Amino acid sequence: MPFVADGVMHFDGRTRTVTPVQRFAPCTLEAWVWPEEYRDTGTQAVIGSDIPTKYGIGLGITGVVPFVEIVPGILKRAQPVPLWKWSHLAGVFSEEETRLYLDGKLVTKGPATRAESGTKFVIGNIGLDNPIDYFKGMVRVVRISRGERYADPFLPVEQLLPDATTVLLYTAESVRGDVVNDFSGMGHHGRVERGFASPP
C-alpha cells in the first residue's frame, strides 16, 4: 500500500511524518483517524513529541482507548475508539488543564502540561527520537493550532481548514513524494520517513 491512496494517508505501523514544528503549549492537536488494529499493551500515537523518559505533548490510542500525553504523564478514558471507522480525536492543552475529546465529546480532563520544547511534533509515532508506538491505520487530516480551539462539546467537521490559529495542516493532498506540504500557510512542510521502526 502506498503512503497515499484513495485520498487518505496510510500509516503501516512503520511510517511517520516528521514536522518542523517544535512542540509548544497552549495548543490543540486533532486528527481524523481510521484505526486498523488494537494493541493490547501498546500505544499508537497519531501526533507525538515524546522525549524518551520525559514524556511529551501528544494524542492517540493506547490499547483500545484514546489518550493525550502531557509532560509528565498520560490521560486516558475507558471509551474505545472503534476500529475500521472514522473518528475525530482532539487534545486541548490549555494553561489550566488538558482535555481529551472523541468525536466532539469530552471524555476526560486532567492537569495542564508543562510547555517544554526541545523536540518536534511527528505524525504517526510517539516522538522524534523514540522509535516506538507507531500508528497503524488511515489518517485523513491533521491540524495543530495555537491555544484552545474547543472548550465545550462540538460537532467535528469532516474538512478541517486553516484559520488564524492554525500552525500546521496536513492532508493526503499535501503529500508529494516524501515531502508533506503544509496547508496552514505557515510553511511548516514535513517529510515522510518509512521503515524507521523495527519490523514486528
pLDDT tens per residue, range 38-62: 987 789 999 999 999 889 999 999 9
Q: What number is the average pLDDT over the span 173-186?
A: 97
pLDDT cut 70: percent of the chain above it? 98
In a domain? residue 41: yes
Evaluate if residue 198 carries a pLDDT over 60. no
How many angstroms separate the CA atoms of 109 and 68, rounded? 9
In this prediction, residues 112-116 reach a mean pLDDT of 94
Q: How confident is the model at residue 127 (pLDDT cuts 50, 70, 90)?
A: very high
Closest by alpha carbon to 167, among 190, 145, 142, 191? 145
Quote the number of domains for the chain: 1
Whether residue 200 lies inside any domain: the answer is no
Rounded distance between C-alpha atoms, residue 103 and residue 120, angstroms: 26
- Is residue 167 situated within a structural domain? yes
| pLDDT of residue 141 exceeding 70 | yes
The mean pLDDT value for 66-77 works out to 95
Grid coordinates standing for 139?
A: 489518517
| pLDDT score of 200 | 47
| Whether residue 160 has pLDDT greater than 90 | yes
Cell triple for 143: 491540524
pLDDT at 78: 87
Residue 111 is assigned to a structural domain of this protein: yes
| Any domain includes 186 | yes
Assigned C-alpha cell, 38: 488494537
CATH of the domain at 164: 2.60.120.200
Say how far apart CA 110 and CA 120 lie, in whole Å: 23
Domain that holds residue 79: 4-194
% of the chain with per-residue pLDDT over 90: 90
CB 169 within 8 A of CB 182: yes
Please report whether residue 50 resides in a domain.
yes
**For the chain, where are the E strands, in sequence order?**
4-5, 8-12, 15-22, 27-35, 43-48, 58-62, 65-70, 73-76, 87-93, 97-102, 105-111, 120-123, 136-146, 166-171, 175-176, 179-180, 190-194
pTM: 0.96
